[in-house]
Structure 1
Amino acid sequence: MKRIYISLAFFILSIATGIFEMFYVTNRIDELNEEIVSADNLVKSENYDGAKDVLAAAESKWQKNLSIFDILLIHDYVDEISVNLSAMRSYVATQSNDNYLAESAGIKKQLTSVKDSELVKIENIL
């Protein structure tokens, strides 16, 4: 009977860890997405200094969570998002709206893809 309780405890711990991981990642992705949308609006209104500050803050938050994301997510996705954030900052610095908006659309798709891969869905389980 003791083995059943131990197995049940590990099962519950595994489920709780998975749920925590899902909420942690999706919340961080949502925060980053909101900051990118905010930077998009600033770039469209040609407020490049404000956009630069927003992107710097977003990249700083991303870097703080990077070690955790490297554990939880596929490394290629994490690296690509990091590179795209840096590219977005350089496009804002050079005031290249078209390149910035193209990069922004790409990173939003990547973030949506990462978020969808973390959700509990049949296609993610099987």
Structure 2
Amino acid sequence: MEYSAFQDRFHLPDVLAHWPWVRSINPLYEEVRDESAAWVESFKLFSEKAQKAFNRCDFSLLAALGYPDFDKDRLRTCADVMNFFFIFDAFSDVEDEVGVRAQRDIIMDALKNPHKPRPEGESILGEITRQMWARALPTAT
């Protein structure tokens, strides 16, 4: 086989084929996924096509696999946080450094003040963060 620095195919091994641990998923996964997805969709952040693509990523599944023993409220917090990370990623990808710093400041203010209404005209990231954190606080330890 000839080596090329510009190969267009890569073989990824099945790293789970010999995984030594039992895979476990939170039994509340589907219920929490549906609630968290409805919450994200309520903000109308994406076009219909982009929302369908976002939903296929199923970030709540990552939470359910990572926290198989959490109760519903804690799992919901994890699912919302996972969804939020990817929302922020999508929003920050299209901003320059100044825009991302402004987003960061809004997010940090919402985390520090989850019961304060967000200012009119602010990035939706503030309200998303506020709701997420206000819901998380009762279960925080």
TM-score, normalisation: structure 2: 0.26
Alignment TM-score, normalising by the size of structure 1: 0.28
Hey, which of these two has a bigger chunk of helix by percent?
A: 1
Return the structure number with greater relative CO, CA threshold 8 A, min gap 6.
Answer: 1
